[in-house]
Amino acid sequence: MAITLDSIGENKKVKVVSISGGWGIRQRLGCLGIHPGDIITLKRSAIMRGPILISVHGNQVALGRGVARKVVVEAE
């Protein structure tokens, strides 16, 4: 079943399956080390449906909810 990055719990480790956004978002995420196949840990979610904080390749990245919704993941 496809789940998206905005719907997983804190401290969960997931693997990126695909990025459903367009060219811009794919490239942007790629630059920060987020490609299909990469392992991501969700570190925290902000209140009021704010952004999420993830850890990828030892680096922290904040993603807005709208962006996170476009990242399809599976449990590791």
Partner 1 sequence: MKIALMGQPNSGKSTIFNSVAGYKAVTSNFPGKTVTYTLTKFNLFGQALELVDLPGTYSLTSFDLAELEARKYLLNGNVDVVINVIDASLLSRSLELTLQLLELKVPMVICLNMIDEADRKGIKIDIEKLSKILGVPVVPAVAVKGKGIKELFSTTYKMGEKKKIGKTLNFSKDVEEVIEKLSAQIKEKQISKEFNVPEQFLAIKYLENDRYFMENFKSRDKNIFKEIHYFQNLLNEVHGRPSDEVISSERHHLSMNIYESVVSLTKPHASLIDYLDNILMHPILGYIFLALIFYLFFNLVFNVGKIVEEPLLNYFYRIIPLIGKSISTETLLFSVISGIIQGLAGGIAIVLPYLFPFLFGLAILEDLGYLPRIAFLMDAFLHKIGLHGKAIIPFILGYGCTVPAIMATRILESERDRFITSVLATMIPCAARMTIIFALVAFYISPKAALAIYILNLIVIIISGKILSRLLPEVTPGMILEIPAYHIPSLKVALAKTWLRMKEFIFVAWPLLIVGSTILSLLHYFRADTLINHFFSPLTIILGLPLVVGTTLIFGILRKELSMLMLIQALGTANVVSVMSTTQIMTFTIFIIFYIPCMATIAVLWREIGSKRTLFTIAFTFILAIILATITRFIY
Asked if 42 is part of the footprint of partner 1 (rule: CB under 8 A), the reply reads no
C-beta separation of 19 from 27 below 8 A: no
- CA–CA distance, 15 with 76 (Å, rounded to integer): 6
Asked if 32 is part of the footprint of partner 1 (rule: CB under 8 A), the reply reads yes
Nearer CB in complex with partner 1: 14/68: 68
For residue 43, count CB atoms less than 10 angstroms from its CB and return exposed for 0-12, middle for 13-18, buried for 19 or more: middle
**Cβ 15 to partner 1 shortest distance, Å:** 14
**Which residues of this protein are in contact with partner 1, per CB under 8 A?**
18-19, 23-33, 35-38, 44-51, 53, 57-67
